[in-house]
Amino acid sequence: MVVSPCTADVHTHAETMARPDPMPVDGGVSWRPLALDALRVRQIAWVVLSVFGALALVNVFRERWMSAVFDAGVVALLLLTLWRNARGQSTQAIQLMVLSLALGLAALMFAGQGLYDEAPMAYPTLVVLAAMLGARRLTRALVLFLLASLVLVFVLDQNGILPSIQDSPPWIRLAELALILLVTWMLVQMISNDLTQAIAQLESEKRALLVSRQEIERLVHSDALTGLPNRLLGRDRLEQLLVQRVEDGRIVAVVFLDLDNFKTINDSLGHAAGDALLLQVAVKLRSVLRDTDTVARISGDEFVILLGNLKSEHGIATVITKLTRVFREAFNVNGMDVLVTASMGITVSPRDGEDVDRLLKNADLAMYDAKESGRNTFRFFNTGMNDSVAEQLHLAAGLRTALGNGELCLHYQPQIDFEAGRIVGAEALLRWQHPERGFIPPATFIPVAERCGLIHEIGDWVLRQACLDAQSWREQGLGDLTVAVNVSPLQLRREDFDVVVATALAASGLPGDALELELTESSLVLDTRDLVDMLQRVRRHGVRIAIDDFGTGYSNLGYLRRLSVHRLKIDRSFVDRICADANDEALVRAIVEMAHCLNLSVVAEGVEDAAALQRLRELGCEFGQGYYWSPAVPEVDFVTLVRTKVL
């Protein structure tokens, strides 16, 4: 029996103890072609012990007392072998068994018929057994010992000291020869069976290893979820396409595809639903491509599509059209129809480069340009995108030191109560005065702050400073003025945003109802449950909620009630043409009437002249802000404006 990790036979405690220890050979390297467990050692020992026991009885019957003594000595050594084997000392047991057989056979030859004795016939079997069970050094020593015993018997015979005489009756010799042949066959059969099982085991392990290697190869180069090529295999195939392009002179295109608002879907429906959606997207993308094209998933919701062997860029346009159609129909996820769009960036070799990293980078830049262009579209790479990225990196680096250097400050634009005709609060607007580049508009640096993660630190500072300034106005006797602070959608995703608000209020001493947080409509596409829960925690501090730029984004009237909104701010694009465009006037009227039905107040942004002010009053709008009264001004100028009440 071959011992292996898969051995199913269970025997006694002694049979299942430690396997034979490896036997050292020349050079210190262990070698054991066939390891035996305790059961097989015991079986061989009992077979040999039975043979020598039988021989001892035959010799006693023939009154060959010396041979009988030798046979008994071998039996004793074999019993010692069985005892060591039972104690788990299989290696020592095997060595003792080989030694006892060698000594016993040699002794029988000397005590028996010398060169005519049957004992040397068992020498080959003993050598085979030793070779299969022992080490090379032991086997070589055994062969030398057996050869030496034969030479010694020959020398003794030639000198007449121990003549070799055939004195066994024919039937005794027949029985002994048959017994030796039978034992030899049994031992060889045992070893042959073990070798066959060992070879079969090795073949099985080899097959398992090949399967394992194939699986590892697949896992290394494939995406675990979709089964598509991963980033590593995608890069390798792009390298191959570029080499082939040099040979055939055609073009290669790289399409970087990113799902729009996938995080919102993943967070709202769950990760399992997100995975199901990704699987469907992968299948549909693969279905519209040629067999020679590659679609690889390189990260969460990002895919790279490799198009080779293209004669011209017209072929790229055909593929982009097919990819766009994939996202026109809803995906069914857990019985729910989910609409998802994609933004794509495209780069072409050799026009945009012939290096893998450069092409992937350029396609990524083009994809982000598509995102900034409104999503659900595609953009080809152009060199100006690199300049834009460099500009953003420069701005991001400047923003990291702007707070500490005092380059950021707040300006305040007054908010007017139409009925009372006075300033009742202000909107805090962030300004950046760069020491070298001068004034940098918020529309330029706020998106950069959101992308590089600085929006949280900047947003926290704005909130704290606005609360401090508003409390200062109250302490200066300017009345119960309120302050409105714009909040980025990224800030609302922080689990501790309510703690940030509470800390700012506590540090300044400002009452909660004097702070108004302005949310853009894009914030409403966040997971509703999370947003409602967050704003409810904020509302416990008395803070008011307003929807900024209402009418320009994603509107869901149910959210207005669920989020406990207090005010709507009409976007300036509607107010600008309220007196010139009947459609804009109708939109403003609809917003005002809807807000009043929901018990919400309305603030009009961008009021520029008296005519617009008069029309807003007629439509029932209660509050306004704009250049008609004042632009956003530094905090000192705002205080002066409130004191003089120059409106």
Per-residue pLDDT, 256: 94
Considering the domain boundaries, does residue 208 fall inside one? no
Confidence label for 501 from pLDDT (cuts 50, 70 and 90): very high
Residue 477, pLDDT above cutoff 70: yes
Per-residue pLDDT, 35: 52
Confidence label for 423 from pLDDT (cuts 50, 70 and 90): very high
Question: Are 362 and 452 in the same domain?
Answer: no
Task: Report the share of the chain in percent with pLDDT over 70.
Answer: 84
Residue 34, pLDDT above cutoff 60: no
Considering the domain boundaries, does residue 222 fall inside one? no
215 or 608: which leads in pLDDT: 608
Structure-token pair, residue 507: 């540090």
d(CA 14, CA 39): 8
The SS3 of residue 645 is coil
Question: Are 500 and 625 in the same domain?
Answer: yes
Question: Are 126 and 272 in the same domain?
Answer: no
Per-residue pLDDT, 120: 80
Question: Are 375 and 414 in the same domain?
Answer: no
Say how many CA atoms lie within 13 Å of 215 toward its Cβ.
6
Per-residue pLDDT, 625: 95
d(CA 513, CA 544): 6
Considering the domain boundaries, does residue 19 fall inside one? no
Identity of residue 409: C
CB 106 within 8 A of CB 138: no
Confidence label for 173 from pLDDT (cuts 50, 70 and 90): low
Last residue of a domain, one of 381, 396, 431: 381
Residue 39, pLDDT above cutoff 90: no
Confidence label for 16 from pLDDT (cuts 50, 70 and 90): very low
Residue 168 CB-density burial (10 A; 0-12 exposed, 13-18 middle, 19+ buried):
buried
Considering the domain boundaries, does residue 301 fall inside one? yes
Q: Roughly how many angstroms between the first and final C-alpha of the chain, as a whole number?
A: 103
Structure-token pair, residue 525: 């596409």
- State yes or no: cis peptide before 170, omega within 30 of 0: no
Per-residue pLDDT, 553: 56
Structure-token pair, residue 6: 């898969």
Q: What would the pLDDT profile of 219-263 be if each residue is shown by its tens digit?
A: 677 888 888 998 888 999 999 999 888 888 889 999 999 998 888
Question: Are 415 and 499 in the same domain?
Answer: yes
Per-residue pLDDT, 387: 63
Residue 140, pLDDT above cutoff 50: yes
CB 252 within 8 A of CB 308: yes
The secondary structure of residue 75, as a DSSP letter, is: H
Residue 6, pLDDT above cutoff 60: no
Q: What would the pLDDT profile of 538-571 be if each residue is shown by its tens digit?
A: 999 999 999 887 766 555 566 676 777 899 998 8
Kindly report the three-state secondary structure assignment for every residue of 302-328: EEEEEEEEECCCHHHHHHHHHHHHHCC
Considering the domain boundaries, does residue 21 fall inside one? no
Report the CATH number that the domain containing residue 332 is assigned in CATH: 3.30.70.270
404 or 233: which leads in pLDDT: 233
Identity of residue 542: G
Domain coverage including residue 290? 231-381
Considering the domain boundaries, does residue 412 fall inside one? yes
Q: What mean pLDDT comes out for the span 394-412?
A: 85
Identity of residue 508: S
Q: Choose among 543, 537, 538, 533: nearest CA to 566.
A: 543
Question: Are 268 and 369 in the same domain?
Answer: yes
**DSSP assignment string, 525-583:** GS-HHHHHHHHHHHHTTT-EEEEEEETSS---HHHHHHTT--EEEE-HHHHTTTTT-HH
The SS3 of residue 23 is coil
Question: Are 490 and 375 in the same domain?
Answer: no
Task: Report the share of the chain in percent with pLDDT over 90.
Answer: 29
Q: What would the pLDDT profile of 154-165 be if each residue is shown by its tens digit?
A: 888 888 887 766
The SS3 of residue 129 is helix
Considering the domain boundaries, does residue 16 fall inside one? no
Per-residue pLDDT, 15: 37
Question: Are 343 and 474 in the same domain?
Answer: no
Range with lowest mean pLDDT among 25-39, 79-93, 195-209, 615-629: 25-39
Question: Are 366 and 436 in the same domain?
Answer: no
pTM: predicted TM-score of the whole model, two decimal places: 0.52
Q: What mean pLDDT comes out for the span 190-213?
A: 79
Residue 33, pLDDT above cutoff 70: no
Report the CATH number that the domain containing residue 608 is assigned in CATH: 3.20.20.450
Range with lowest mean pLDDT among 150-164, 299-313, 462-476: 150-164
Question: Are 55 and 187 in the same domain?
Answer: yes
Question: Are 377 and 252 in the same domain?
Answer: yes
Considering the domain boundaries, does residue 5 fall inside one? no
d(CA 251, CA 248): 9
The secondary structure of residue 427, as a DSSP letter, is: E
Q: What mean pLDDT comes out for the span 158-186?
A: 69
Confidence label for 450 from pLDDT (cuts 50, 70 and 90): confident
Task: Give phi and psi for 250, each to the nearest 5.
Answer: -90, -175
Identify which of 59-68, 69-78, 383-392, 610-619 has the greatest average pLDDT: 610-619
> What mean pLDDT, rounded, does the chain reach?
81
Q: What mean pLDDT comes out for the span 56-84?
A: 78
Per-residue pLDDT, 291: 87
d(CA 37, CA 544): 81
Identify which of 27-31, 171-175, 441-445 has the greatest average pLDDT: 441-445
The secondary structure of residue 153, as a DSSP letter, is: H
Q: What would the pLDDT profile of 340-387 be if each residue is shown by its tens digit?
A: 899 999 999 888 888 899 999 999 989 988 887 778 888 898 877 666
522 or 601: which leads in pLDDT: 601
Question: Are 299 and 247 in the same domain?
Answer: yes
Number of domains forming the structure of the chain: 3
Identity of residue 351: R
